Structure 1
Amino acid sequence: MIDKAVLRKQLRRARMSLPRSVRTKAARLVAKRILRAGYLRKFSRIAFYWPVGSELDTRPLAALARSLGRELYLPRIARHRRLRFDVWNGRVPHRKNCHGIQEPRPLNTLLPRQIELVVLPLVGFDQQCRRLGQGGGYYDSSFAYRARAAAIKRPFLLGLAFECQRAEVIPCEPWDIRLDAVISERRHYRRGFPA
């Protein structure tokens, strides 16, 4: 069995080794790939993450979504390790949470089920759309209802990553929530099938 901590370290190192110019170009390529895939036309309430460190930058994608008139939201940590989503005006959020991640002001808050598309950060992924996160479990606990009720498909969970973050297999626990798709600068993965 692959150790998650070791895998996280390897994949973070691979991501951090990418030059800033490569990461910037990849963020623009991912935004274009998402537009071509139709996600920005299909969904109107879209939650993004504020990029931290070497994570794939969501700001080009957010600007594109805003130009199409989409409602934008950012996650905020609430009680019991759950996320809530607050409307986002496109500017730098006003405060950092306990992990040093920028969060929006609690205003026009939506529950996870009210969002249509959630763009998630990740440390690693595999072709089956299994996600390796930071290890805090915030997204897993916030979307746990999807595992309990198979009929609930909302929101659509889309992971963003650099291709160097793809692993052969991501170890999975029963509480880990699978993504519906992952998009890198090179490929579009949907539940095991690159598109």
Structure 2
Amino acid sequence: MTTRAAVFLDRDGTLTEPRHYPRRPEDLVLQPGVAPPLRALRDAGYALVLVTNQSGLARGLFDRPALDAMHVHLRALLTASGIALDGIYVCPHHLDGTVPELSVPCECRKPAPGMLLRAGRELGLDLNRSWMVGDFLTDVEAGQRAGCRTALVGDAALRETPEGPRPDLRVAGTAQALREIARRAAGPPAAHPHHQLIRTTRRSPPC
């Protein structure tokens, strides 16, 4: 049985516009232009999986029902564009939290690869043929530790980072990164050497 490749997506600042601890469904707004390349990736056979650190749970800023309501809204936004997520994986932990049961060390908070590894097991994914897309180097590190290719987007992608993990792809906007991944996905996804750096200076439209 052939397992699928996936595109793992960070949420805040990657799939959705950056917000400081979003707490309400209406706080989640899709990044401009992401719907067409997401559909192209699904058409190419890729799973689409959200992997998101949500320390607001540990900090007591919102509770699990509020987070679930946000993700119901997010799925509705995507469904309206003809896109379905294969899974949503959340890390609720942070050592500086105020909720005791969530203020603990864990294996899931990025840059740890726990969410990606769990999704790989539960969804039957080939991590070595998959991508992790995020706007922080912690996303890149999590993807690399899980064996994925990685794309860094947003402001971090425009800064030189002589130290730390090196993404395979740097672009200003999420839509650009997804288009490039979808372009490569037009053929069968292949295994890859890590740390191939591809740069573009083209910027996405302002939010």
Q: Shared fold by TM > 0.5?
A: no
Superposition TM-score tier, normalisation by shorter sequence = 0.3 to 0.5
TM-score, length of structure 2 as denominator length: 0.40
- Whose strand proportion is higher, 1 or 2? 1
TM-score, length of structure 1 as denominator length: 0.42
